[in-house]
Amino acid sequence: MTPEIVIDIAKDTIYTIIVTSAPLLLISLVVGLIISIIQTATSIQEQTLTFVPKVLCIFLAMMIFGSWMLNNIVEFMVRLWSNFSLYVG
């Protein structure tokens, strides 16, 4: 296994992680920002106020994007295992 192959696998792995996690992270960021603006406008500084809406939105996003995320991970693993003979030999 050459260093170039290892770098290609690592690059593909990082790209897959970023693309797969992006929808959930962006939704969490947007919900957190909206709740933060509401907290600032109303002067309510309750920490649990941000937690519950984020969790609910993340669960909803996982239901919506879950199959797409799983397909991305499965496609990556299929590519990785289908090229396994190139990595070993």
Alpha-carbon distance 61 to 63, whole Å?
5
Compute the distance between CA of residue 10 and CA of residue 57 in angstroms, rounded to an integer: 31
The model's pLDDT over 22-61, given as tens digits with 9 standing for 90+, comes to 999 999 999 999 999 998 898 888 877 888 999 999 999 9
Judge contact between 1 and 88, C-beta under 8 A: yes
How much of the chain is helix, strand and coil, in % rounded to 5? 90, 0, 10
Which pTM value belongs to this model? 0.79
Taking a C-beta distance cutoff of 8 angstroms, is the pair 84, 61 a contact? no
